[in-house]
Amino acid sequence: MNHKTVSEALDHRRSIRIYDNNQPLDTSKVVSCIRNATLAPNSSNMQLWEFYHIENKETIAAVAATCFNQPAARTADQLVVFVVRKDLWKQRAQANIDYLNSAFEKEKKRDSKREKMALNYYQKTMPMLYGTTNKIVGFIKYLSVQFMGLKKPAYRQIKLEDLRVVAHKSTALAAQTFMLSMAEIGYDTCPMEGFDSLRLKKVLKLPAQSEINMVVSCGIRKQEGVYGDRFRVPFETVYHKI
């Protein structure tokens, strides 16, 4: 298969609304693209994401119904749902701690200061950020950060809603990494946020604390599934050289 360069994949990727039912995808290739998605950069390497891959036609129809039966979902050969799992922060922090301990174990030249700092990050900073569910405690922390920030630069995005943005950012990067990997091999996609999150979570049997970032439909495009030429506002209106 002829693999595209990154620029070629970017050029190929369009949001496809109608797929060709006569051209099924190779599932193992889609799984490889999901594997690539896990290589996306992500906040603190906490990997607060999950990927739900759907091939079963009945489940696709059920998910499409929660996406208001948009053609991009209804005609898809497969779907991948990108899910934010902020609630898994303890497990992910522990996975990082275990990894760091084993990595330090292998190192010949140990640097205890660096080790301590790295471990502290997952043992103290992450619980401080993700473990605060009480709004009053969160507000006090927020105020103290603003106060500290009067004298020197401070990380201010520590409110509960800030952490939702943090987790969604990383998951969206995974979704884009997936879509570009699909484009690399000539597979098509459409990202969707038009869905009933409550109903979709029920179909996927997801826990209440999870959040759906995007549904990405997959298939091979029908030419009429590309809705017009690509439109972007002039580059000069969004590019600011400082």
Ligand X SMILES: Cc1cc2nc3c(=O)[nH]c(=O)nc-3n(C[C@H](O)[C@H](O)[C@H](O)COP(=O)(O)O)c2cc1C
Contact set with ligand X (CB under 6 A)? 14-15, 17, 70, 72, 190-194, 214, 230
Q: Which is nearer to ligand X, 59 or 70 (CB)?
A: 70
- Residue placing its CB nearer to ligand X in the complex, 174 or 214: 214
As measured in angstroms, the least distance from the Cβ of 123 to ligand X is 34
Nearer of residues 4 and 14 to ligand X, judged by Cβ: 14
Token representation of residue 72 = 């991009």
In the complex, least distance from residue 128 CB atom to ligand X, rounded to whole angstroms: 30
Contacts of 58 (CB under 8 A, 6+ apart): none
Q: Please give the helix or strand (H or E) that residue 52 lies within, else none.
A: strand 49-54
Cβ 13 to ligand X, closest distance in Å?
A: 7
User: What DSSP line would sit under 149-216, residue for residue?
Assistant: TTTS------SHHHHHHHHHHHHHHHHHHHHHHHHHTT-EEEEE--S-HHHHHHHTT--TT-EEEEEE
Question: E strand or H helix at 31, and its extent?
Answer: helix 27-37
d(CA 137, CA 176): 35
Instruction: Please say which residue, 34 or 190, places its beta carbon nearer to ligand X.
Output: 190
Nearer to ligand X, 138 or 191 (CB): 191
Q: How far is the CB of 172 from ligand X (least distance, A)?
A: 7
Contact in structure between 78 and 27 (CB atoms under 8 Å): yes
- Shortest reach from residue 130's CB to ligand X, in Å: 24
Helix (H, G, I), strand (E, B) or coil at 91: helix
Q: Least distance (Å) from ligand X to the CB of residue 26?
A: 23
CB nearer to ligand X: give 45 or 70.
70
3-state secondary structure of 229: coil
Report whether 177 contacts 40 (CB < 8 A): yes
Which residue is nearest to ligand X, using beta carbons? 194
